[in-house]
A and B are shown apart, each in its own frame.
Chain A
């Protein structure tokens, strides 16, 4: 039986792993990948102690630091499927069918991309609907595409697409864009970028691949169809708190509510840190720090017995 199971391999999970190993807690960390959401960033320039690092190298740095620890078990190619309460703690089942018993759980599961939830999105996932602009933008060479979402992620997708797409329609439900002003000015001045304001995406249509998007003009109530060959969805993230939603208190956004002094949740056996929590600022450095608080608190709790 483990004393601690850490779920997640982003900055929170890795920081917790390093501290738990150094505290010699009997720990297992389970994650499909390392690095968290920054993995797909072109550059991380605010990780303290590192002037600039690509998302890929950032992920590698974290993984190497974790693997340098002696006293920790790392399950690096599996995923937690369910967490169940037992008499002595929790029982954890993974996708590959592993079953582990643990006294305490640290949720460092971060967040995942929000989906549009409209007809056609799922059917055309990968067949024109895309979620990783830095990866897939070049494949849309010579195509007209739509980018849904006007925050920084949406604006960055436009920048990734600029060298390849013929025309880029940037959708926003309001009359304005939310991302950084500097980036906005840069892309809205490009002749191939056209903003589509007060537009609510309603359906993605096509045959083998996406051929058009249907949207509602929120000002006139009219339904319109725009022929396009791709849709990039960049409408933000939701916390990945599903695994423990039955045992801990969540806020209305699905964030795990924690005591910000200790990172403990409403369940005395479960802690949480990073983007999955109701922390006010979702940042790599903060996630790492919060996870460390959690492990120190867990260590204290184990010693008291």
Chain B
């Protein structure tokens, strides 16, 4: 199983969509909410070089936004 981390904000709808997608496809993931977790926020900015959520890290491959087809490929979901 690949290691999946998603950086979110509480009100972000694309984050909810991504989490829904993980749940539907039985993908285990760790959620880091960057609203209060400053270290996570810094990590997210460092990894993605940008300031938007969601940022999704799949074994080191970084996705900005909810890129369903990209994630499907990385997670080998058909």
Interface residues, chain A, with chain B CB atoms under 8 Å away: 33, 39-40, 42, 55-56, 77, 96, 126-128, 130, 132, 134-141, 160, 208-209, 230
B41 to chain A, nearest CB (A): 7
Query: Please, how many angstroms separate the alpha-carbon atoms of A139 and B45 in the complex?
Result: 9
A139 x B17 contact (CB < 8 A): no
Chain B residue with minimal CB distance to A77? B68
A136 x B51 contact (CB < 8 A): yes
Query: Please, how many angstroms separate the alpha-carbon atoms of A127 and B41 in the complex?
Result: 14
B residues less than 8 Å from A126 (CB atoms): 50-52, 64
B69 x A135 contact (CB < 8 A): no
Query: Please, how many angstroms separate the alpha-carbon atoms of A239 and B50 in the complex?
Result: 28
B74 contacts A by Cβ under 8 Å: no
Residue of A77, A135, A138, A141 near B14 (CB, 8 A) is: A135
Known: A77-B69, A96-B69, A139-B34. A134 touches B52 (CB 8 A): no
Residue of A39, A96, A138 near B34 (CB, 8 A) is: A138
A70 to chain B, nearest CB (A): 21
Most buried by A among B10, B13, B53, B72: B13
B1-26 vs A: 1/0 string, CB under 8 Å?
00000000111111111000000000
Known: A77-B68, A127-B50. A139 touches B41 (CB 8 A): yes
Query: Please, how many angstroms separate the alpha-carbon atoms of A136 and B14 in the complex?
Result: 11
B residues less than 8 Å from A141 (CB atoms): 35, 41
B68 x A132 contact (CB < 8 A): no
B6 to chain A, nearest CB (A): 13
B residues less than 8 Å from A160 (CB atoms): 11
Query: Please, how many angstroms separate the alpha-carbon atoms of A55 and B17 in the complex?
Result: 12
Chain B residue with minimal CB distance to A160? B11
B52 x A135 contact (CB < 8 A): yes
Given A55-B13, A138-B11, A230-B51, 10 more A-B residue pairs with CB atoms under 8 Å apart are: A33-B17, A126-B51, A127-B49, A135-B12, A135-B15, A135-B52, A136-B53, A139-B52, A139-B53, A141-B35
Query: Please, how many angstroms separate the alpha-carbon atoms of A26 and B10 in the complex?
Result: 41
Most buried by A among B9, B14, B34, B50: B50
A residues less than 8 Å from B68 (CB atoms): 77
Residue of B16, B35, B52, B72 near A130 (CB, 8 A) is: B52
> Can you sample 14 A-B contacts with CB below 8 Å?
A40-B13, A56-B16, A126-B51, A126-B64, A130-B52, A132-B14, A134-B13, A135-B11, A135-B12, A136-B51, A136-B52, A137-B11, A139-B45, A160-B11
A138 x B51 contact (CB < 8 A): no
B78 to chain A, nearest CB (A): 12
Residue of A55, A96, A138 near B35 (CB, 8 A) is: A138
A residues less than 8 Å from B17 (CB atoms): 33, 56
B residues less than 8 Å from A138 (CB atoms): 9-11, 34-35
B residues less than 8 Å from A42 (CB atoms): 11
Chain B residue with minimal CB distance to A55? B13
Chain B residue with minimal CB distance to A40? B13
Chain B residue with minimal CB distance to A163? B35
